[in-house]
């Protein structure tokens, strides 16, 4: 369903003077207003969100509480705390903890990870890249497609930080990840014939009530609103099912309906997430 288009206000902050040169180029690349070093996100009352560049790392910070897509300056003035920034850090404590979680096992089973041979996965909706990283950690070669320029910029810097971290585990995993800054349906650089599995995580609001997830969903909604984007999950699924791949996997909320009318081959679910699997042929 389409939503009313609302052009939002976004700016870029160079957190320190040493970030200013890179921030100048990035602001020009992304078409953002560049704010002076040291500017605080809470003081950016004219912006819906700000992109923070700090030592080469990027974070996206919402500056306005939202309800029904509107700014709520009165609540903010009354002292309502702003949500924290969203960033991509593949070496974070949360990502290291996730290596041991049951969700990883579900994701691996849904995609079809086995000891026979490494799978080649196309993550057609990379977002913050976390599931892509998990799949790469499970041994898959992962091509990530992301069409939102700000998320692309965050992913690029996160991949570089991991590749130069000096951590053997991180450096090995990101070698199996590649980023394509475009809509997966327009990919031309890497033939789809080389892909075993297409993975879709639409990342639309309403999937989880946890505070951290709600914060990220609010920011994703801002970016979608900025481009007048629609929830094209069903169209993405139909495109994926038309490709010559062994299976398509769609990440869903546990109680959400399936996408479209195409019958699901099987589903794997836990308390927080469900994976709907569409088997097209046997994995080699």
Q: What one-character-per-residue DSSP string does 73-89 give? A: HHHHHTTPPPPPPEE--
Q: What one-character-per-residue DSSP string does 192-212 give?
A: GGG-SEEEE----SSS---HH
The number of distinct structural domains making up the chain is: 2
**Which tens digit of pLDDT belongs to each residue from 87-125?**
899 999 888 888 776 667 899 999 999 878 899 999 999
Q: What is the CATH number of the domain that holds 201?
A: 3.40.50.150
- The pTM of the full predicted model, rounded to 2 decimals, is 0.85
Domain presence at residue 1? no
**Residue 237 pLDDT > 50:** yes
pLDDT at 104: 76
> Of 32, 59, 87, which closes a domain?
87
Residues 272 and 155 in one domain: yes
Residues 21 and 129 in one domain: no
Residues 103 and 244 in one domain: yes
Domain presence at residue 3? no
The pLDDT of 178-195, averaged and rounded, is 78
Domain presence at residue 4? no
Candidates 69, 89, 57; CA nearest to 7 is 69
Domain presence at residue 144? yes
**Weakest mean pLDDT among 128-132, 215-219, 231-235:** 215-219
Domain presence at residue 248? yes
Residues 101 and 223 in one domain: yes
| Alpha-carbon span 110 to 269, nearest angstrom | 10
Domain housing 69: 10-87
């Amino acid at each position: 369903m389409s939503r009313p288009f609302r052009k939002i206000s976004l700016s870029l902050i160079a957190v320190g003077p040493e970030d200013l040169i890179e921030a100048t180029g990035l602001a020009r690349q992304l078409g953002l207003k560049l704010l002076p070093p040291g500017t605080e996100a809470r003081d950016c009352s004219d912006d819906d969100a700000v992109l923070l560049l700090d030592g080469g790392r990027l974070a996206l910070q919402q500056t306005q509480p939202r309800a029904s897509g509107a700014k709520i300056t009165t609540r903010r003035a009354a002292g309502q705390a702003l949500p924290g920034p969203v960033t991509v850090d593949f070496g974070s404590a949360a990502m290291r903890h996730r290596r041991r979680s049951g969700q990883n096992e579900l994701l691996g089973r849904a995609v079809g990870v086995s000891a026979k041979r490494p799978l080649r996965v196309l993550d057609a909706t990379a977002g913050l890249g976390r599931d892509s990283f998990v799949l790469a950690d499970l041994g898959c070669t992962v091509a990530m497609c992301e069409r939102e320029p700000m998320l692309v910029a965050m992913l690029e810097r996160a991949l570089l930080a991991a590749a130069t971290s000096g951590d053997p585990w991180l450096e090995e995993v990101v070698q199996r990840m590649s980023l394509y800054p475009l809509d997966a349906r327009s990919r031309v650089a890497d033939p789809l014939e080389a892909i075993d599995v297409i993975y879709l995580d639409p990342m639309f609001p309403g999937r989880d009530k946890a505070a951290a997830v709600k914060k990220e969903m609010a920011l994703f909604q801002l970016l979608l609103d900025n481009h007048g984007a629609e929830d094209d999950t069903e169209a993405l699924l139909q495109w994926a099912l038309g490709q010559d791949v062994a299976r398509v996997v769609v990440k869903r909320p546990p109680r959400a309906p399936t996408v479209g009318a195409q019958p699901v081959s099987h589903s794997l679910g836990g308390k927080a997430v469900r994976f709907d699997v569409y088997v097209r042929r046997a994995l080699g």
